[in-house]
Chains A and B, each alone.
Chain A
Amino acid sequence: MGQKRVEEEPVKYLLMICGDETAAEYADAGCDGWSEEMTARGVIQGGAGLQPPHEATTVRVRDDNLLLTDGPFAETKEQIGGFVLIDCADLDEAIEIAAKHPAAAYGTIEIRPLWQP
């Protein structure tokens, strides 16, 4: 099974906050008290909002050549606009935390457990 998880140990998750181009209008909206609440609860490890995807640069090295591309790695309708790293009991708590984020009401939030070697 590879990595084992010991029950009762907190799990770290990355919340990726995604939205289409209309989500940009929420860029200055803040998180409506969500960050304060979650910081007080002690679950937030870090996070930030991001500049729009057209300001992204992707990097690959192939055969010692540095390859740069202007733009995000995948041109999809929904793009990551921000991320939060959280630390909580289990997926049910992570779902509850994500569902409370204001972006869940207009965008999509992907919850990914962190690789824990």
Chain B
Amino acid sequence: MAAVADQVAKAFREEWGQLVATLIRLTGDWEVAEECAQDAFALALQRWPQDGVPDKPGAWLTTTARNRAIDWLRREAVGAAKLREVAAMTDEAEPVGDDGGVPDDRLRLMFTCCHPALAMEVRVALTLRTLAGLSTAEIARAFLVTEPTMSKRLTRAKQKIMHAGIPYRVPPAHLLPERTPAVLAVLYLLFNEGYSATAGADLIRSGLSGEAIRLARLLVHLMPDEPEAGGLLALMLFHDARRDSRTTDDGELVTLEDQDRSRWDREQVAEGTVLLDATLQRGRPGPYQVQAAIAACHATAARAEDTDWVQIAGLYRQLARFQPTPVVALNQAVAIGMADGPEVGLRVLDDLATGPLAGYHLLPATRADFLRRLGRSAEAAQAYREAIQLASTDAERRFLRRRLEEVS
């Protein structure tokens, strides 16, 4: 019995997105598509324990969901041509459309969920519901809102898609340069939501990283010609490989420098490295590929002191061209300080102090770190105190206080 339930759960993870995506295309109705897919899994839970798990669970689920959709279309009295089209729905995945072929329905669904006419929080929720198959309750818990609030948000989004005529398609080539980053941004936000959740604090939240990696894998598979998709997946793999070493058992932050590198997931680092190398060879760099290259420098350094800071500083310079943001500039300053020495780093920080970073706790925290490395303890302590005042989370304040004690 337990084994069959596991089989249904496995089929759910593997087939849900495809099933919903195809049903949306065929019925044009998001609610009906979800209901038909849900019915198919409910029936599987009933039937499979008695009849045994079918040889091709995906085909069984597709047939079952399709029959539900046909029933619904009959009730809606749609034309015979549409019914024939739905009846022809098979479990065979459609070829990926980069040379005029038929695009995968899941890719249509991804682009539609991430349409820029939808608010970011709506895009994230829709992607989790329709592609990843999370329940409304799970998504609500992950984003700290009540279930009715999340339910309303999802319903409104589906209504807007239908009424405002947001097309269910992979955008044409001339729109891809502006639309693809929107999809990547949703997946990266999803990853970071999960990554910033501390271990054990909220399992559903930290599970979001896994969903983001799964969806990024799918995107890489569906858009083999988009190097930024590969860059994003590699970036996620490098970060995720360090997940368990970022905090102590009692939830205290551990800096990259002090992390136990033997706890990093080597297989994941290796996978990310192979993927990133292949992606960079295309010679079309972008912000995710550069960030992945930076993460790779850290992930492949055997000891903290082996880190290639000169290369990292160069990569941040490249990233600043794609993303000229203050935070990138601060990270670049850190890398320069590590590559060329803390005095040089302090001079770069001075240039940033009057800009938009004023009031950002990581600015005095970085200054404090450089001063500490130079042995200028009194000035370091003053900068740590300033950073503690500005820090926004307890974990950060506790970390900065520990550092303050070390220099006092």
Tell me whether B162 and A91 are in contact (CB under 8 A). no
Q: What does the 1/0 interface line of A89-102 toward B look like (CB < 8 Å)?
A: 11110110000000
Q: Given the complex, which residues of A lie within 8 Å of B98, measured CB to CB?
A: none
Q: Given the complex, which residues of A lie within 8 Å of B31, measured CB to CB?
A: 1
Tell me whether B159 and A94 are in contact (CB under 8 A). no
Measured between alpha carbons, how far is A11 from B162 in the docked complex, in Å?
Answer: 10
The range of chain A's interface size is 10 to 19
Measured between alpha carbons, how far is A3 from B158 in the docked complex, in Å?
Answer: 12
The range of chain B's interface size is 10 to 19
Most chain B C-beta atoms within 10 Å of own C-beta, residue among A5, A89, A111: A5
Binds A, one of B164-172, B275-283, B396-404: B164-172
Q: Which residue of B lies closest to A6 (CB)?
A: B28
Measured between alpha carbons, how far is A95 from B162 in the docked complex, in Å?
Answer: 16
- Is A7's beta carbon under 8 Å from chain B? yes
Q: Given the complex, which residues of B lie within 8 Å of A94, measured CB to CB?
A: 165
Measured between alpha carbons, how far is A67 from B76 in the docked complex, in Å?
Answer: 45
Q: Which residue of B lies closest to A1 (CB)?
A: B31
Q: What does the 1/0 interface line of B1-34 toward A look like (CB < 8 Å)?
A: 0000000000000000000000000001101000
Given A91-B117, A92-B171, A95-B117, also A113-B29 (CB < 8 A): no
Tell me whether A92 and B162 are in contact (CB under 8 A). no
Measured between alpha carbons, how far is A90 from B167 in the docked complex, in Å?
Answer: 6
Measured between alpha carbons, how far is A1 from B159 in the docked complex, in Å?
Answer: 8
- Is B175's beta carbon under 8 Å from chain A? yes
Chain A nearest CB from B175 CB (Å) reads 7
- Is A4's beta carbon under 8 Å from chain B? yes
Measured between alpha carbons, how far is A3 from B164 in the docked complex, in Å?
Answer: 12
Chain B nearest CB from A47 CB (Å) reads 19
Chain A nearest CB from B361 CB (Å) reads 35
- Is B163's beta carbon under 8 Å from chain A? yes
Q: Given the complex, which residues of A lie within 8 Å of B166, measured CB to CB?
A: 90-92
Q: Which residue of B lies closest to A4 (CB)?
A: B29
Tell me whether B164 and A92 are in contact (CB under 8 A). no
Tell me whether B29 and A91 are in contact (CB under 8 A). no
Tell me whether B29 and A90 are in contact (CB under 8 A). no
Measured between alpha carbons, how far is A5 from B78 in the docked complex, in Å?
Answer: 12
Per the 8 Å Cβ criterion, residues 80-110 of A in contact with B are: 89-92, 94-95
Q: Given the complex, which residues of B lie within 8 Å of A1, measured CB to CB?
A: 29, 31, 158-159, 162
Per the 8 Å Cβ criterion, residues 2-45 of A in contact with B are: 3-7, 11, 13
Chain B nearest CB from A62 CB (Å) reads 30
Measured between alpha carbons, how far is A11 from B161 in the docked complex, in Å?
Answer: 12
Measured between alpha carbons, how far is A13 from B165 in the docked complex, in Å?
Answer: 10
Tell me whether B164 and A91 are in contact (CB under 8 A). yes
B residues lining the A interface (CB < 8 Å): 28-29, 31, 76, 115, 117, 158-159, 162-168, 171, 175
Given A3-B163, A91-B115, A92-B166, output 13 extra A-B contacts at Cβ < 8 Å: A1-B29, A1-B31, A1-B158, A1-B159, A1-B162, A4-B28, A4-B29, A4-B162, A7-B168, A89-B167, A91-B165, A95-B117, A113-B164
A-B contact pairs, 23 of them (CB 8 A): A1-B29, A1-B31, A1-B158, A3-B163, A4-B29, A4-B76, A4-B162, A7-B168, A11-B165, A13-B165, A89-B165, A90-B167, A91-B117, A91-B164, A91-B165, A91-B166, A92-B166, A94-B165, A95-B117, A111-B164, A113-B163, A113-B164, A113-B165
